[in-house]
Amino acid sequence: MRRHKRRWAAVPAVIAATGLLGACGATAEPAADGPVTIEYWSGLQGTDVLVDEWNEANPDIQVALSTSDGSWGEQFAKLMAALQSGDAPCLMLMPYDYIPSLLVADALTEVTDEVAGYESDYLESTWELVNYAGATYGVPSGSGPMAMYYRADKFAELGIEVPATWEQFEQAARDVSTKAPGTYLIGLGGDSHTDFISLVGQKSDPWFEISDDAWSVDVTNPESEEVADYWQRLRDEGLLNMTNRWDPTFYNDLSEGRQLAVIGGAWQAPLLAANVSGGAGEWAIAPMPNWTEGDVASSSNGGGAQLAIKGCEHPDEAMQFANWLTTDMDAILSLKSFPAMKTDQMSTPDEVKTFFGGAEINQELAEYALAMRPWRYSPTWTEGMTVLGDSMAAFKDGSGTLSDLLATLEAQQIESMKALGISVTEP
């Protein structure tokens, strides 16, 4: 039976880890007679430096950081376990797509009044993502306006114009393949489902909306199908590099010039600068192509919020810290996030600037951020992620299409919401 125990080992380990994390935080004291301690979970590297900085400047509001590591999914699971055992933090960084699921799990504390004064600090499109049915649950931390990053030198070499529309983009993809066999303009790997959703989000209205105390679901709308068909066609014609986005191979492909462009969120810029070795200084940035000539729509990809967790005893102080962290430009950029705040003076870290040939690319990205179309995630999105991941893998190996992905996701989302007792308006 030894084998039996070992197989189970992974599950209790998650719970045990949570207990340890919880134990790290100090207990909060009443605000009136002394400093309060905010327990804070964040998985972003570099947070400790910022927390130290804050603690030094704010003796009355001390932040106790627990580095919550692992994938976002693992951090979500950790939080769920911590809530059950009473060891949850007061403040936590989580991506936007987890917020509705956190709400349904009753994991968040409403801080509408506490953050009312901060609303004007943030982009409207990101503020929307911490707001549900008139209540606010935290402050936006990062945003991910979609952009196109490309090898300017290779484009010039092959005589490819920077495409402004998706039609031109398709032609450019074809030109790259014919002029330089074995080279791709773009890729869409088996783990790129969030990228695909952002590509859809540029054209489609949000798949999920709250109206009249119910969620309306419309994943398979004509605009989404059109985007799905577009990328399916590129794949079927062999114009896409199918390397997974999060494989080490991906950066290899970019470094060695097998893929010439990436369309992704703003937070990808520092990642590319840090991991792509070939062509440094030759990379450039452009808006993502549009469906109609002259449009400037961008879309949101990734990003997250600092959320007040259920049971937080000092939400006001927690939000003061969160607001400082998310509106301090240097702080946010040091976390390799792209700010969700409003600003007209966006700086670009030196190493990123060098990679993009000295261009102030963050200033550029800030403009795309203003053109981000609204999006909203569903209350059972954590369940949908499984379907999405598997459908995207099927798209990669050719056993399924992106249109199948939309249909499967819609059916699964409606079913899972109904199973929870949520009112659903079907398309």
The answer to the question of residue 255 lying near another protein (CB under 8 A) is: no
Q: Which amino acid is at 325?
A: L
| CB nearer to another protein: pick between 286 and 414 | 414
Report 338-397 residues binding another protein (CB under 8 A). 379-380, 382-383, 385-386, 389-390, 392-393, 396-397
Tokens read off for 215: 């969620």
Q: Would you list the DSSP string of 243-288? A: --TTSHHHHHHHHTTSB-EEEE-TTHHHHHHHH--TTTTTEEEEEP
Q: Could you tell me the CA-to-CA distances from 416 to 89, 205, 214, 410, 426 in Å, in that order?
A: 28, 21, 14, 10, 13
357 SS3 class: coil
User: Comparing C-alpha atoms, which of 174, 300, 288 is closest to residue 233?
Assistant: 174
| CB nearer to another protein: pick between 75 and 323 | 75
> CA 95 to CA 260: how far, in whole Å?
28
Residue 35, CB-side half-sphere exposure with 13 Å CA sphere? 14
Q: How far is the CB of 201 from another protein (least distance, A)?
A: 21
Q: How far is the CB of 266 from another protein (least distance, A)?
A: 25
| CB nearer to another protein: pick between 76 and 368 | 76
The answer to the question of residue 125 lying near another protein (CB under 8 A) is: no
Binds another protein by CB under 8 A, chosen from 36, 38, 80, 332? 80
Segment interacting with another protein (CB under 8 A) among 53-61, 118-126, 342-350, 411-419: 411-419
| CB nearer to another protein: pick between 72 and 356 | 72
- Rounded to a whole number of angstroms, the CA Rg of the chain reads 22
The answer to the question of residue 417 lying near another protein (CB under 8 A) is: yes
The answer to the question of residue 133 lying near another protein (CB under 8 A) is: yes
> CA 143 to CA 146: how far, in whole Å?
10
The answer to the question of residue 195 lying near another protein (CB under 8 A) is: no
Q: How far is the CB of 421 from another protein (least distance, A)?
A: 4
The answer to the question of residue 292 lying near another protein (CB under 8 A) is: no
Q: Answer whether 128's CB lies under 8 Å from 374's CB.
A: yes
The answer to the question of residue 423 lying near another protein (CB under 8 A) is: yes
| CB nearer to another protein: pick between 206 and 357 | 206
> CA 255 to CA 72: how far, in whole Å?
28
The answer to the question of residue 283 lying near another protein (CB under 8 A) is: no
Q: How far is the CB of 69 from another protein (least distance, A)?
A: 14
The answer to the question of residue 407 lying near another protein (CB under 8 A) is: no
Give the CA dihedral 270, 271, 274, 279, nearest 10 degrees.
-90
The answer to the question of residue 1 lying near another protein (CB under 8 A) is: yes
User: Comparing C-alpha atoms, which of 78, 103, 73, 98 is closest to residue 88?
Assistant: 78
| CB nearer to another protein: pick between 65 and 99 | 99
Q: Could you tell me the CA-to-CA distances from 221 to 209, 224, 427 in Å, in that order?
A: 14, 5, 8
The answer to the question of residue 86 lying near another protein (CB under 8 A) is: no
Q: How far is the CB of 106 from another protein (least distance, A)?
A: 5
The answer to the question of residue 19 lying near another protein (CB under 8 A) is: no
| CB nearer to another protein: pick between 41 and 150 | 41
Q: Answer whether 340's CB lies under 8 Å from 141's CB.
A: yes
Which spans of this chain sit near another protein (rule: CB under 8 A)?
1-4, 6-8, 10-11, 14, 73-74, 76-77, 80, 100-101, 103-106, 132-133, 135, 189-191, 210, 213-215, 244, 247-249, 252, 379-380, 382-383, 385-386, 389-390, 392-393, 396-397, 399, 416-417, 419-423
